[in-house]
Amino acid sequence: MSKKKAFKAESKRLLDLMINSIYTHKEIFLRELISNASDAIDKYYYLSLSDENITADRSALKIQLSVDKEHRTLTISDNGIGMNKDELEENLGTIAKSGSLAFKEKMEAEEKNDEDVDIIGQFGVGFYSAFMVASDVVVESRKAGEEEAYRWESNAVDGYTIDKCEKAEHGTTITLVLKEDSEDEKYSQYLETYEIENLIKKYSDYIRYPITMFVSHEEPKEEGSEEMQLVVEEKTLNSMVPLWKRNKSEITKEEYNEFYKNKFNDYMDPQKVIHTHVEGSVNFDTLLFIPSKAPYNYYSNEYEKGLQLYSRGVFIMDKASELIPEYFRFVRGLVDSQDLSLNISREMLQHDRQLKAIASKIEKKIKSELVNMLKNDREEYEKFWKNFGLQIKFGIYNDYGMHKEMLQDLLMFTSSHEMKLTTLDEYVSRMKEGQDVIYYVAGDNLDKLDKLPSAELVKDKGYEILYLTDNVDEFALQVMMNYQEKNFKNIAQGDLNLESEEEKKEIEEKAEENKDMLSDLKETLKDKVSDVVISTRLKSHPVCLSAGEGMSFEMEKVLSQMPEGNPYGMKATRILEINPNHPIFEALQKLYGRDKDKVKDYADLLYDQALLIEGFDLDDPISFSNKICNLMVDASKE
Ligand SMILES: Nc1ncnc2c1ncn2[C@@H]1O[C@H](COP(=O)(O)OP(=O)(O)OP(=O)(O)O)[C@@H](O)[C@H]1O
């Protein structure tokens, strides 16, 4: 017998968790093992289509269950692709790569929160869930096309062994030696036929290969005879009709939910199920799900988009990315079409006309479902938006706004109107008479934006402002250019034209009167701002910085946060605006009359204040602090 090998550290942690699990749904181990068996048969069948050395008799493909009450064993056997020695080592000695990192992170995070986590359900830890119910697990496997078979065995506690064994057919047989019953847990229930039948109906009914088991029942020896005999026969426990092929009206919500969680390894029910049957130039069934939470790795490169692809109920491939546009990449699900060739390869997908037609129909369907949700169930839509809104906004921005038409009505931003999320259409419907632009301002938090000096007057005049808090927002609006022919206007940038003719005149006069002072201020700040002007956008605040047309401050910040830095070193033009109706203005005028040099200090201070308000760092905080102190000291002398 070979030497025992230790599990990799991560696997060990997971195993410990499984062994000591107080998880209440231990029964899911069967679903996990059957799902693996079904995947293995899928792979085998698919391989047989392309490899002429392998012939698969589709009718013989199945998953067999058997129990041995005396030895407390439950066996799950498939004639799928099987595993060779290396694969046993790689797949069962190391925790499935997909969930491992997340698992670790989540464990750590949750420990902090001290919450009872549904880790097991969360990451579909698959094979290892066997250790929730078994003290020993034996896996005998022979890879299709290979002669040798191997036996992997483990009691989880002190590692595993791999040895050669005999196995007549390709595939995998997993034998679980069930744990002893305890007060809380009756593991022997998994040896009872009716319990197994129930579990299969509950979790694995749609599996497309027969799941069989030899069951016995008593029946009269002959018709009418009173003498009974024990008959043993192989029974298929699942209906095998794929869920998506069944009539929608006959499927319960629970069935959809179970199917989704099982197939896509989510621990939460989906937020939305979209099940459609399309006939016409292209025929297909599709079952799509919008998750109720973004997967942990959603906004990383690790997340792979795509739908599972089936042809006439036969699995062809996972994650066919061509079926789903980038901006709907959060959608999970599958497509089954009789119009696709079984031999389609990933390379061919890109050029397949039928597939393009399917993808286009799916895209429209998702959009219309989202629009319906928005119209009919606002609360649900806002939940969706919290999860995936960012994706939609990126969808607008990417490809130079090519998908604007598809996506613009799905957009939401928080608005100064009740500080709630609003759609652009709702914004436009509330626009005041004579308002011809959609106002917005960008920054990193709503509270700050709502308090921005430049927002005060706009709100005061009765206009609504969209508050953009994600980096991509302003870029998205820029590529959109307009919505329902209304241009977007940043309130912290350029001319707002909010003032009446009279007010305009007044300001022009003030500017003229204070020409010298303004130009001295500008001269003092010449390395920092391109202009110092009398403001038309301030109400009660003393100063603000505005940007000239083109690049805004937020865009400048976003660009400089990019990993490669601001690619063209582009900067927003800074303009210092001073409120002529603020006492500070009068103070400046007075001071200017008395001591022109002193105004220089004031200029720096005003500029620094404006920087702080805009959320920029000060160039020289120490000098700022010193100047403030000097002022305070001076004030005490008077
Ligand atoms: N019956 C089987 N036949 C062939 N390979 C199997 C079988 N069971 C498991 N495997 C292999 O072991 C790997 C690990 O299985 P495990 O159930 O732990 O994770 P998974 O199925 O990849 O992920 P998840 O359960 O999260 O979907 C599988 O990816 C598969 O390659």
DSSP string, 480-521: H-EETTEEEEETTBS----S-HHHHHHHHHHHHHTHHHHHHH
Tell me if 83 CB under 6 Å of ligand 1: yes
Please list the residues that pair with 76 across neighbouring strands.
Answer: 65, 174
Beta strands 420-422 and 413-415 are antiparallel
Tell me the two tokens of residue 157: 């506690």
* pLDDT for the residue numbered 163: 96
Residue intervals in the chain for CATH 1.20.120.790: 501-637
pLDDT number for residue 25: 73
Q: What is the CATH number of domain 243-378?
A: 3.30.230.80
* 35 CA: nearest ligand 1 atom: 21
| Residue of 35, 39, 169 best suited for mutating to test ligand 1, as the one with most atoms within 8 Å of CB | 39
Class of domain 411-490: alpha beta
Claim: this prediction has a pTM higher than 0.90 = no
Q: Tell me, what's the pLDDT at 121? A: 45
**H helical segments located in 117-272:** 119-123, 193-203, 253-264
Ligand 1 within 6 A of CB of 34:
no
Q: Confirm or reject: Cβ of 100 under 6 Å from ligand 1.
A: no
| Parts of the chain belonging to CATH 3.40.50.11260 | 411-490
Question: What local confidence, expressed as pLDDT, does residue 21 receive?
Answer: 67
Is domain 501-637 classified as CATH 3.40.109.10?
Answer: no
- From residue 271, give the alpha-carbon distance in Å to each of 118, 119, 264, 332: 19, 20, 13, 11
Distance 68 CA to ligand 1 centre (A): 24
Cα 239 from Cα 122, distance rounded (Å): 27
Kindly state the percentage of the chain with pLDDT values over 90. 53
Class of 9-236 in CATH = alpha beta
Instruction: Give pLDDT, residue 18.
Output: 74
Identify the segments of the chain with pLDDT beneath 50.
Answer: 96-101, 112-119, 121-123
CA nearest ligand 1 atom 2, residue: 37
Domain(s) labelled CATH 3.30.565.10 in the chain stretch across 9-236
CB 171 near ligand 1, within 6 Å = no
Q: Where in the chain is the domain with CATH 3.30.230.80?
A: 243-378
For position 343, what pLDDT does the model report?
64
Q: Which residues pair with 232 in a beta bridge?
A: 216
